[in-house]
Structure 1
Amino acid sequence: MPTPTEIRLKRAERLLEVAFDDGSRFRLPAEYLRVESPSAEVQGHGPGQKVLVSGRREVGILRLEPVGHYAIRIAFDDLHDSGIYSWDYLHRLGTEQAERWAAYEQALAEKGLSRDPPRRRGG
């Protein structure tokens, strides 16, 4: 299992840079991490229960919290903070980023949903 050698939060760019001991390095956007959260709220409690999360184009990361020596918890500025990202899952998100992102965008299109947050009414 690859282990991170460096984890760097780039708040202004809304992304997480992760380097692993196998030589791989990934730039994972906050939006991608949020919609692929390993939490039960997103993944469900079993196969086929994954929730399609929309409207998170502008989501940011508030903080990272270590979880033992095997994972981090990511707290997002939309108040989602229940996902625990194991080193293996972060590595998988990096290696599968193009495929997962394409599938996400296709699912949004099929359901008529958007990456953009809903517009507020009033003013």
Structure 2
Amino acid sequence: MTIAAVVLLLGFGLLAYVRLAPSDVARWHVAGDISKNSEGQNSVRRLVDAGPDGLAKFAEAALRDPRTEVLAGSAEDGLITVITRTRSIGYPDYTTAWMQDGQLAIYGRSRFGRKDFGVNAARVDRWIGALSAP
């Protein structure tokens, strides 16, 4: 009984950490250099011809999603990072967007784990699709 209680307590502690751990802005709010569209096991990189207001439109599309909020920056700053949390556990994913050589550059990634099962790519691609919506 004691071992089960310890395991249960550790499990709840891990879930609480995933949900409540603070986000280090210096780590997550950084523009990289994206040379092509690509997907990793827990990340996605996209370059999109979105026009001069592409970053603002992308930020609007992202912030319409449930459980998505600005971590740092803004479209006006030229760099924005949003955090999106899963419904059940609150697992965080970070998406950073900026204008790079006239294109919208987007980098989405998971904070925890080695594989996101395509969740970041699907979310980023959905937000990109919203750019052309009226």
Same fold (TM over 0.5): no
Larger relative contact order, structure 1 or 2 (CA cutoff 8 Å, min sep 6): 2
Q: Which has the larger radius of gyration?
A: 2
TM-score scaled by structure 2? 0.27
Q: Give TM-score, length-normalised by structure 1.
A: 0.28
